């Protein structure tokens, strides 16, 4: 088991939803957390305050992770502040769902940029620092949709499946270094992303889940913690946290 106290984590899109849960769980274990946000400064600031009030350490940095130069500055800011980076959690994501025939080129490009190219952007700058860590971890938040596909989600499914391929390839390349690379594939988790789905469709989805409920953001955060703490011999994998919806 890795001693993670005092180590540093960068969580992209960390101000809300699953990302915020990841930040809280890691901070409660003594990890210094860099919360990246794009536009939700207020949520990010109140999360920093909450973590600090509970005795943890956290800071926030604005950055659109789909922009490579901004991602570079984000990592530089992290190093300037804490002097090291041990865990990179690529969590930022968006949906722009439309059936393929109505999908605009812009919807395609935006979803690929934010969900997939961002993973390249942050990893590219973070890797030299992760290699200096004795327990470097890259955890990419993919999705069940990248495994099963989803109606109206060609763009999102392609990005999330791309993350899985990226993860496996980089895991192979880094296996000898001790830096592990894994994906987590959440099913349907109770965050804004799922609450934005029309209620009728949400009920249909819930009915199809063998465990008959949506997941909680904390359940994904616990998966992240497991891979970080106990995942020394786990690399190139997808951790499915989905109530049995995809096996």
- 223 interacts with ligand NAD by CB under 6 A: no
Q: Which of 35, 51, 65, 158 binds ligand NAD (CB under 6 A)?
A: 65
Max Cα-Cα span within the chain:
51
- 180 interacts with ligand NAD by CB under 6 A: no
Classify residue 202 by burial, with Cβ atoms within 10 Å: 0-12, 13-18, 19+: middle
SS3 content of the chain, % helix, strand, coil (to 5): 50, 15, 35
- 18 interacts with ligand NAD by CB under 6 A: yes
Distance CA 92, CA 86 (A): 18
**Residue tagged active-site, from 37, 120, 156, 226:** 156
Annotated catalytic residue 156: yes
Query: Which is nearer to ligand NAD, 177 or 211 (by Cβ)?
Result: 211
Distance CA 91, CA 93 (A): 6
- 92 interacts with ligand NAD by CB under 6 A: yes
Nearest distance from C-beta of residue 241 to ligand NAD, angstroms: 9
Distance CA 47, CA 134 (A): 28
- 141 interacts with ligand NAD by CB under 6 A: yes
Tell me how crowded residue 176 is: count the other CB atoms within 10 A of its CB.
7
Query: Which is nearer to ligand NAD, 172 or 226 (by Cβ)?
Result: 226
Which positions are catalytic? 156
Binding site for ligand NAD (CB under 6 A): 12-13, 15-19, 36-38, 40, 64-66, 91-94, 114, 141, 143, 186, 188-189, 191-194
């Amino acid at each position: 088991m890795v001693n993670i106290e005092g180590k540093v984590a960068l969580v992209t899109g960390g101000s809300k939803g699953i990302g915020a849960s990841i930040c809280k769980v890691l901070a409660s274990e003594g990890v210094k957390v860099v919360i990246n946000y794009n536009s939700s400064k207020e949520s990010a600031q109140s999360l920093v305050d909450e973590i600090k009030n509970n005795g943890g350490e956290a800071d926030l940095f604005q950055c659109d992770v789909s922009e490579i130069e901004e991602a570079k500055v984000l990592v530089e800011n992290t190093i300037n502040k804490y002097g090291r980076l041990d865990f990179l959690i690529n969590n930022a994501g968006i949906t722009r769902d439309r059936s393929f025939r109505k999908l605009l080129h812009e919807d395609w490009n935006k979803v690929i940029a934010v969900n997939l190219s961002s993973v390249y952007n942050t990893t590219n700058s973070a890797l030299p620092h992760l290699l200096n860590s004795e327990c470097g971890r890259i955890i990419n938040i993919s999705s069940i949709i990248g495994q099963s596909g989803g109606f109206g989600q060609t763009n999102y499914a392609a990005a999330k499946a791309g993350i899985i391929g990226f993860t496996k390839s980089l895991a192979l390349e880094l296996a000898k270094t001790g830096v592990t690379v894994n994906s987590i594939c959440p099913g349907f988790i109770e965050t804004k992303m799922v609450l934005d789905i029309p209620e009728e469709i949400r009920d249909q989805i819930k009915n199809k889940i063998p465990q008959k409920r949506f997941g909680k953001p904390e359940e994904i955060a616990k998966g992240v913690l497991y891979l970080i703490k106990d995942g020394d011999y786990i690399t190139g994998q997808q951790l499915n946290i989905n109530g049995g919806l995809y096996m």
